[in-house]
Amino acid sequence: MPENHFRLEDRLTAWHVGIALGALFLGSWFGPLQVLEHAGINLYGKLAPGIQSYYQGLTLHGVLNALVWTTFFIVGFLTFATVQSLKAKLSIPWLNIAGFALMAVGLVMAAVPLLLNAASVLYTFYPPLGANPFFYIGLTLVVVGSWLEGYGLFFSLAAWRKAHPGARTPFIAFAAVLTMAMWQIASLGIAAEMLFLLIPWSLGLASGTDALLARTLFWFTGHPIVYFWLLPAYLSWYGMLPKQAGGKVFSDPLARLAFWLFLILSIPVGLHHQFADPGIPAAWKGVHAILTYAVTFPSLLTAFTVIASLELGGRARGGTGLFGWIATLPWRDPSFSAQAAALVIFALGGVGGIINASYNVNLVVHNTLWIVGHFHLTLGVAVTLSFIGITYWLIPRLSGNQLWSPRAANFQVWLWLAGMLPFSLSHHYIGIRYGIPRRTMLGAAPYLSPEWNPWLILAAIGGVLLWLSLMLYFVIVLGTVFASQKTAEPVEMPVAEALRDSEETPAWLDRWTPWLVATVILIAIAYGPPLLYLVRNADLSSPFLRVW
Ligand code: HAS
């Protein structure tokens, strides 16, 4: 294959990753500001009038780091992974180019009101908090752009399947396209919320909106979005990390089964974010709680399969004994160490998730700092640290330059953990012990108790270390792109072989229709009645409030 065969796809990926990194960089500055504010050092006053309040900073942090960094990185990475895995170019490239253009335009539209303090509605944008219409329209365009890019990947896979009748789809392309398919269905909730409720409301076309219906449509997308973030990391843990460790995929069928289960189970669980909301019948919350336990199952499969795959690598590298293989894994390779650390820490984040999902226990932790601890272990470590690990080979590939200082990169990974553990564990502890509310300017709260201080200070130290780790990361990224030597050969995407030939994987694990039908049926059962009830009783009386 000629060297520049994937030039367009590489460029498209580079643009997505570049914007994602820009968002991560900007968003990360607000993290320390928040924890420092909680610990009694309020630097927000010094940023006025540029940044006008703690809540504007919190919104920027959430939107840039949870929504923009993830979405842009994922779409770029999955495009790269699909074409490399199929060894085929995009079949309708203009679709992906148009999708990217729409995402970029949408981002600019949303960013302007965010920066002007006209959209300080936090990353969940619950009414009655109201934002400038451009914020909602911009975010909608980002989602629609990602749909177009998803279609680009579906058509590319369809063309490949047509050209290879009867062959099993390569695992990486399968996992990438499935992730985009899940996202297409999942994001219908937020699309409906934007089109029917928030955009007309913000344009003044409706005098009020229904806050509960809006929240329910939001969480239809809001929970599966966490699997939209997680599955690209899983794709790498299953399909790439074993190769980096010198091992093989322990079971190709189990890997595919885990992804199919995520397609079916990621969406009909959103009511577990609304256990405390009045107006939704408790029985339906119970159904979603049970389905949430079900969606932990593919993660448990993943824990087993990925660790078995790494064990194969550790043993192939000379490791012996029950745990001796762990020490022989390539911990000096920052791409490996970042992702392996992310995997290990996800065990803690997952346990926290199961606690959250338990209906009655949720009432203790809901809206407390515990939840902030939870999503920094999951989104902040399992996902973000994995993506950082991926960039440690992807950026050298895209730039054609060697990774600038692998030692510094490895240090960056451990610094991330050194910051995240005190940050996250203290948030968990004070959330459950004292019920301290999240999304609150605690430094100004009259009820702040001196008992909380040591933990808030510990969290602040963790937050500052996290920021330092990210700054080092950006030095490494810039060093790689602008100040590093060329690689002798283009860096190849790591592709792990399966222990048994993947052509032996049963054909039912490569058929889309039954799984898609099952997905739609389960969503209809779990969401149909409660949504119908809310739509029938919709009450468009919620005012449009701007409070900060
Ligand atoms: Fe969550 C709230 C439940 C996973 C992100 N979650 C959030 C929010 C975010 C978030 C951002 O049920 C806050 C939203 C907001 O702003 O309001 N979550 C779960 C459950 C899981 C889960 C059951 N969450 C995630 C992931 C996220 C994420 C993944 C981001 C990427 N979450 C909840 C609930 C709430 C919630 C409620 C609402 C709370 C409330 O009241 O507001 C599960 O998917 C977790 C399953 C995972 C496992 C772990 C598998 C372990 C693996 C690693 C094994 C490694 C080992 C070490 C054993 C069961 C794969 C081996 C050692 C070696 C050396 C090799």
Per-residue pLDDT tens over the stretch 52-91:
999 999 999 999 999 999 999 999 999 999 999 999 999 9
Which of 297, 344, 368, 371, when mutated, tests ligand 1's pocket best, judged by the most ligand atoms within 8 Å of its CB? 371
pLDDT given for residue 4 in this prediction: 62
Return the bridge partners of 368, or none.
Answer: 437
Chunked in runs of 10, what are the mean pLDDT values of the chain (548 residues)?
Answer: 77 98 97 96 91 96 98 98 97 98 98 97 97 98 98 98 95 98 98 98 95 98 98 98 97 97 98 96 96 98 97 97 97 98 97 96 97 98 98 98 97 98 97 96 93 96 98 98 95 96 90 97 98 96 92
Residue of the nearest CA to atom 10 in ligand 1? 375
Rg (CA), the chain: 23
Active site residues: 223, 227, 374-376, 438-439
Identify the DSSP state of 508: G
Q: Ligand 1 in contact with 308 (CB < 6 A)?
A: no
pLDDT given for residue 501 in this prediction: 85
| Prior bond of 128 cis (ω within 30°) | yes
Query: Does this model's pTM top 0.95?
Result: yes
Cα 540 to ligand 1 centroid, rounded to whole Å: 33
Residue of the nearest CA to atom 29 in ligand 1? 378
Q: Ligand 1 in contact with 273 (CB < 6 A)?
A: yes
pLDDT given for residue 362 in this prediction: 97
> Could you give the angle at the alpha carbon of 27 between the alpha carbons of 24 and 28, nearest 5°?
80
Q: Ligand 1 in contact with 484 (CB < 6 A)?
A: no
Residue of the nearest CA to atom 11 in ligand 1? 375
Looking from the CA of residue 306, the nearest atom of ligand 1 is 60
Cα 487 to ligand 1 centroid, rounded to whole Å: 38
Round to whole Å and give the CA distance between 486 and 396: 9
Q: Ligand 1 in contact with 404 (CB < 6 A)?
A: no
pLDDT given for residue 49 in this prediction: 87
Is 239 within 8 Å of 486 (Cβ atoms)?
no
Cα 349 to ligand 1 centroid, rounded to whole Å: 5
Residue of the nearest CA to atom 20 in ligand 1? 353
Which of 215, 356, 439, when mutated, tests ligand 1's pocket best, judged by the most ligand atoms within 8 Å of its CB? 356
Q: Is 4 exposed, middle or buried (0-12, 13-18, 19+ CB in 10 A)?
A: exposed
Round to whole Å and give the CA distance between 201 and 131: 10
Round to whole Å and give the CA distance between 315 and 299: 24
pLDDT given for residue 57 in this prediction: 97
| Count of alpha carbons within 13 angstroms of residue 173, beta-carbon side | 24
